[in-house]
Chains A and B, each alone.
Chain A
Amino acid sequence: MSKTLFDKVWDTHVVRKIQDGPDVLFIDRHLIHEVTSPVAFLGLKSRGIRVLYPERTFATADHNTPTINQHLPVADPLSANQLDALESNSNEYGISYWGLGHQKNGIVHVVGPEYGITQPGATIVCGDSHTSTHGAFGAIAFGIGTSEVEMVLATQCIMQPKPKKMRININGKLGFGVTPKDVALYIISKLTTSGATGYFVEYAGDVFENMTMEGRMTVCNLSIEMGARGGMIAPDETTIAYVKGREFTPKGEAWDRALAYYKTLKTDADAIFDKELTFSASDIEPMITYGTNPGMGMGISHDIPDAADVEGGAATYEKSLNYMGFHEGDSMLGKPVDFVFVGSCTNGRIEDFRAFTSLVKGKHKADNVTAWLVPGSHIVEAQIKEEGLLDILTEAGFTLRQPGCSACLAMNDDKVPAGKYAVSTSNRNFEGRQGPGARTMLASPLVAAAAAVTGVVTDPRTLIEELV
């Protein structure tokens, strides 16, 4: 029978099917961080069970960590306690631990691929909804709750009903200044934040085929924001070139076997999806959000729609615009910006810093803007320096912080104050996401750069002459 890419990877990992119940799914690789793992380890302790395959779990500290002075003790006692718990639990159960100060430390969804933990055709979970990032490699990757973290530690399995399958096709050539982030925000604006709930998405078409792995990760990362558990892209030569030779990538004969498996990982020509959607690349422009969920986005040159033209309750829509201090019919262009954040598991990779730097080069940070540039990992940080981007950024009045989740969810000190506006390359614009009362506009690194140098929301296409 014809199968989709998703079917092939899922079916290969089903240990047992429970009649009228979930599948028991084997998990190849498990990533943990400090926030969603401590209660799982407490559960193991209270049940008196060990970690079944500690070599399949990798721990990194990212959500709570400061992004300056990482060599000093963490000042917040609650954060320090959680970081200590991750370290002691990892040590006790024999799990690789990449804590603060470790060369491999960084955002879990940035370092996983960098070290080859992420492999095509694998099942990957983490107690974090943006685990969908790893689907860029043709893996089944999704976020889980803490009870499920405990299950994976104890048995390397979780119990999941098989989701439905959706394919999103986009063909054509992306316009000037349109990045993978814009493609994802465009899809979410069309589907709403619940449009793909219950589905696992495959992205297909030449727009995705022509993306770098960094771009594919940005797209798959945001799958959860349309409600999908995950998204994936079939592995190809770009994928294989990326994973080959990385630390945890199979080597020698194992690599040959892996390569043969990777080449089977594509949707059969006549496979059926439960839902199929097609968009055109030429309809997508640089995007920005104006509301309090990622579905409330639009092309940057458009006006904020009227409640009557938007799916969902008018009262909820009004509440959202009130929170943002915006009105129906407003143009986003020229709106004030107080903070710019470049980073997160969505846009904290080298390509994102290249894009940001390409626009700010030769210009200067606006005086009214506080900019936080936070690389996703030490590898990204080193690349920024090696490629000379840091010199350009410094010249333009920007500084670089140290790796971590930072202002994406404001668990550390990188908080946007109440009422202030941030253009952010992260993934969620929920009320209070970047700090209590903070107002977030999600956008690409290019739109963030345009805001950073002008101090207001600005269409980046008016500031750049050539394609990046």
Chain B
Amino acid sequence: MAYDKFNIITSTAVPLPIENVDTDQLIPARFLKATERVGFGDNLFRDWRYNPDNTPKKDFVLNNPVYSGKILVGGKNFGSGSSREHAAWAVYDYGFRCVVSSFFADIFRNNCLNVGVLPVQVSAEFAEKIFTAVIGDPKTEIEVNLPAQSITILSTGDTEKFDISPYKKDNMINGFDDIDYLQSIKGEIEEFAANLPL
């Protein structure tokens, strides 16, 4: 599915310094019943964000008006659990284009890359610097530069490089997805299939 191209994003950030944020928190299973990809942002972090009577929980960061932006900064082992791409859809649909963490779960990271959310893995020290800067001053801007593979806290000048495969980087900058590529080598796939051991 098409997503907005990603180049450089400069934005304030939302801090969520909790470890092991799992996909059941990102989007609880009872909200996975849609047959179209619409409206998932409303249920992002549903049970942390709302009380059972659907009133907002005032102490949750998404309900704190001082924090906003296109960048979500999470604790270690972000996105563990289920393979539900709905978790990445919810992040994108809510308005985040980038998730920063010192460690990501594999499937969630893959899903993000496939739906236009850039997962930026930073060192534990740098993650702490971002939390300190953003919690200290919620107006702190972070620059995520995909072409340069760098993330910078603009107020302090602290910066760090991040990894991404050149293939995926090119896809995100151009808004391509893997099916475009796979479709282009279909003949090769069919020939391969004809010669499998089983």
A-to-B contact residues, CB < 8 Å: 12, 15-16, 18, 20-22, 24, 26, 28, 35-36, 38-39, 42-43, 47, 49, 52-53, 63-64, 76, 78-79, 81-82, 85, 119, 121-122, 127-129, 131, 143-148, 150-151, 154-161, 163, 193-194, 197-198, 227, 229, 250, 254, 257-258, 261, 293, 312-313, 315-316, 319, 409-411, 418, 428, 430-433, 436-437
Q: Is the CB of A21 within 8 A of B28?
A: no
Instruction: Check A22/B18 contact, CB under 8 A, given A36-B85, A147-B111.
Output: no
Which one of B7-15, B134-142, B165-173 is at the interface?
B165-173
Q: Is the CB of A26 within 8 A of B18?
A: no
Q: CA separation between A53 and B194, bound complex, in Å?
A: 12
Q: Is the CB of A147 within 8 A of B1?
A: yes
Q: Is the CB of A428 within 8 A of B196?
A: no
Task: Tell me what chain A mostly uses at the interface: helix, strand, loop, or mixed.
Answer: loop
Instruction: Check A258/B198 contact, CB under 8 A, given A21-B167, A151-B179, A197-B103.
Output: yes
8 Å CB interface, B158-186 against A: 165-168, 177-179, 181-183, 185-186
Q: Is the CB of A150 within 8 A of B36?
A: no
Q: CA separation between A423 and B42, bound complex, in Å?
A: 31
Q: CA separation between A300 and B193, bound complex, in Å?
A: 49
Q: Is the CB of B35 within 8 A of A158?
A: no
Partner of A227 from the list B77, B115, B165 (CB cut-off 8 Å) is B77
* A282 nearest CB across to chain B (Å): 30
Q: Is the CB of B189 within 8 A of A198?
A: no
Residue of A nearest to B30 (CB): A411
What B residues does A28 contact at CB under 8 A? 196, 198
Instruction: Check A148/B198 contact, CB under 8 A, given A79-B33, A227-B105, A430-B22.
Output: no
What A residues does B186 contact at CB under 8 A? 52, 155
Q: Is the CB of B22 within 8 A of A148?
A: no
Residue of B nearest to A291 (CB): B20
Q: Is the CB of B83 within 8 A of A428?
A: no
* A352 nearest CB across to chain B (Å): 22
Contact flags (1/0) for B30-52 with A, using CB distance below 8 Å?
Answer: 10111111000000000100001
Q: CA separation between A26 and B82, bound complex, in Å?
A: 23
Q: Is the CB of A154 within 8 A of B182?
A: yes
Partner of B193 from the list A21, A53, A411 (CB cut-off 8 Å) is A53
Q: Is the CB of B19 within 8 A of A129?
A: no
* B121 nearest CB across to chain A (Å): 11
Partner of B105 from the list A81, A150, A197, A409 (CB cut-off 8 Å) is A197
Q: CA separation between A15 and B196, bound complex, in Å?
A: 10
* A195 nearest CB across to chain B (Å): 10
Sample of 15 further A-B pairs with CB below 8 A, known A155-B186, A313-B75, A411-B32: A20-B167, A22-B168, A24-B182, A36-B85, A64-B33, A146-B111, A148-B110, A148-B178, A197-B106, A227-B105, A254-B198, A316-B19, A428-B24, A431-B24, A432-B25
Q: Is the CB of A157 within 8 A of B182?
A: yes
Residue of B nearest to A155 (CB): B182
Instruction: Check A49/B183 contact, CB under 8 A, given A16-B188, A293-B22, A319-B18.
Output: yes
What B residues does A257 contact at CB under 8 A? 197-198
8 Å CB interface, B98-132 against A: 103-107, 110-111, 114-115
Q: Is the CB of B80 within 8 A of A293?
A: yes
Q: How many positions in chain B have a CB within 8 Å of any CB in the partner chain?
A: 59
Q: Is the CB of B197 within 8 A of A312?
A: no
Q: Is the CB of A250 within 8 A of B20?
A: no
What B residues does A319 contact at CB under 8 A? 18
What A residues does B103 contact at CB under 8 A? 194, 197
What A residues does B30 contact at CB under 8 A? 410-411, 436
What B residues does A122 contact at CB under 8 A? 198
* B176 nearest CB across to chain A (Å): 12
Residue of B nearest to A161 (CB): B165
What B residues does A293 contact at CB under 8 A? 20, 22, 80
Q: CA separation between A85 and B80, bound complex, in Å?
A: 28
Instruction: Check A156/B85 contact, CB under 8 A, given A39-B36, A194-B76, A319-B18.
Output: no
What A residues does B188 contact at CB under 8 A? 15-16
Q: Is the CB of A15 within 8 A of B189?
A: yes
Q: Is the CB of A128 within 8 A of B83?
A: yes
What A residues does B167 contact at CB under 8 A? 18, 20-22, 159
Q: List 11 A-B contacts (CB under 8 A).
A: A15-B189, A16-B185, A42-B35, A81-B33, A85-B35, A145-B83, A158-B178, A194-B77, A257-B198, A293-B22, A437-B52
What B residues does A150 contact at CB under 8 A? 179
Q: CA separation between A81 and B34, bound complex, in Å?
A: 8
Q: CA separation between A38 and B106, bound complex, in Å?
A: 23
Instruction: Check A26/B80 contact, CB under 8 A, given A121-B198, A229-B107.
Output: no
What A residues does B196 contact at CB under 8 A? 12, 26, 28
Instruction: Check A193/B47 contact, CB under 8 A, given A28-B196, A36-B85, A147-B85.
Output: no
Q: Is the CB of B185 within 8 A of A119?
A: no
* B46 nearest CB across to chain A (Å): 9
Q: Is the CB of B19 within 8 A of A151?
A: no
Q: Is the CB of A38 within 8 A of B35?
A: yes
* B186 nearest CB across to chain A (Å): 6
Partner of A47 from the list B33, B35, B165, B179 (CB cut-off 8 Å) is B179
